Amino acid sequence: MNGTVLPVSIKGVYLLEKEGAVPVPLVLLEDETMRIMPIYIGLSEAVSINSALNHEIPPRPMTHDLFISLLDRTCSKIDDVLIDELNEGVYYARMSVSMNGDHFELDARPSDCIAIALRCGSPIHVRDSIISEATINKEDLTGLLSIDNYLS
């Protein structure tokens, strides 16, 4: 798939509360032009991403921490994460890995890619066509509660 890829930052992890419904976790990505893109994720991934954003170290390794330990032990590194497809509301991502001079890509969920990239300081990119399609207005952000409020 061709097209421009843009660096994004993680704006935060939130719960979307709608009356009469269970709160839904989401992560907000923001590009350099301040376009905001939501990705709905699972609660465990939301907690993992949030703890990485807050530089929290759990007493025992979580799944994403274990993955980072494996990278370290095998002298591997995550070069880049790319969210490159949106199909019927589902995002797809790839993680570029370097290991012993070889480079390869792994298909992964965007939430896992983000949690791992945050832990190892790897850049996160989104294809411009995806962020253009998925951008929301700031007015659409009503009903968001920081996951920190939920966890405390």
* Structural domains of the chain ordered from first start: 5-151 (3.10.690.10)
Q: Kindly report, residue by residue over 46-84, the tens digit of the pLDDT.
A: 999 999 999 998 889 899 999 999 999 999 999 999 999
Q: Which residue has the tokens 């995806």?
A: 130
- The reply to whether the predicted model has a pTM over 0.85 is yes
Residues in the chain: 152
Q: Kindly report, residue by residue over 74-111, the tens digit of the pLDDT.
A: 999 999 999 999 999 999 999 999 999 999 999 999 99
How many angstroms separate the Cα of 50 from the Cα of each of 31, 74, 104, 111, 150? 19, 26, 27, 11, 11
Q: Kindly report, residue by residue over 12-24, the tens digit of the pLDDT.
A: 999 988 777 888 9
Whether the CB-CB separation of 75 and 100 falls below 8 Å is answered with yes
Give bridge partners of residue 117 from the DSSP assignment. Answer: none
d(CA 2, CA 4): 7
